[in-house]
């Protein structure tokens, strides 16, 4: 049976990842601080700390893969049909050639990658809240689609 202190520490470990919206890399810094200071004292906090960090690292990996798909496609598509001197001098040329008619199938792949990224971030937010509630109730929770970097 976990103590209230252990439940609170596990809950705060999950909730500390939400600091990413205010502090850059807060979703890594604060969980690492909480987990590393308490992992030897409690198996429950150790388990949840590993889950949080594995989930955040998995989200980072998935986001990087999606960015590697979407960003080059957008850059190549925008600059493939437009001469550089036309971009510098003639703004009407740019407006005429960057229209819906010039969108290719590969750009649709990039747009889908962006939508997947947005869905990933929304799912991340709700999964963090759900895991926090589970930890608060003294239950062990394993995030879905998580790569076990830390065992």
Per-residue pLDDT of the chain (151 residues; tens, 9 = 90+): 789 999 999 999 999 999 999 999 999 999 999 999 999 999 999 999 999 999 999 999 999 988 888 888 777 776 666 666 655 555 555 555 555 555 666 677 778 888 998 999 999 999 999 999 999 999 999 999 899 998 8
Q: Is residue 148 part of a domain?
A: no
CB 116 within 8 Å of CB 66: yes
Domain membership of residue 114 (yes or no) is yes
The whole-angstrom separation of Cα 71 and Cα 68 is 6
Quote the domain boundaries for residue 66: 4-136
Residue 151 lies in a domain: no
Hey, what are 51's tokens? 């889950």
Q: From CA 87, how far away is CA 84, in angstroms rounded?
A: 5
Long-range contacts of 91-97 (CB under 8 A, 24+ apart): none
Q: Has residue 18 been placed in a domain?
A: yes
Residue 91 maps to a domain: yes
Domain-located, residue 149: no
Domain count, the chain: 1
Contact 39, 45 (CB under 8 A): yes
Q: 141 lies in a domain?
A: no
pLDDT at 73: 78
Give just the sign of the alpha carbon dihedral 7, 140, 40, 53.
negative
pTM of the predicted structure, to 2 decimals? 0.80
Per the domain annotation, does 51 fall within a domain?
yes
The separation between the first and the last C-alpha atoms of the chain, rounded to the nearest angstrom, is 22
């Amino acid at each position: 049976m976990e103590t209230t202190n252990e439940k609170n520490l596990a809950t705060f470990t999950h909730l500390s990842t939400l600091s990413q919206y205010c502090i850059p890399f807060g979703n890594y810094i604060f969980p690492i601080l909480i987990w590393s200071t308490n992992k030897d004292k409690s198996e429950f906090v150790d388990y949840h700390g590993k889950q949080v960090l594995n989930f955040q690292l998995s989200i980072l990996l998935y986001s990087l893969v999606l960015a590697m798909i979407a960003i080059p496609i957008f850059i190549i598509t925008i600059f493939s049909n437009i001469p550089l001197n036309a971009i510098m001098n003639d703004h009407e040329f740019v407006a005429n050639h960057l229209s819906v008619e010039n969108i290719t199938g590969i750009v649709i792949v990039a747009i889908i990658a962006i939508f997947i990224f947005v869905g990933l971030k929304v799912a991340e937010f709700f999964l963090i809240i759900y895991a926090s509630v589970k930890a608060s109730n003294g239950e062990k929770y394993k995030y879905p689609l998580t790569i076990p970097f830390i065992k």
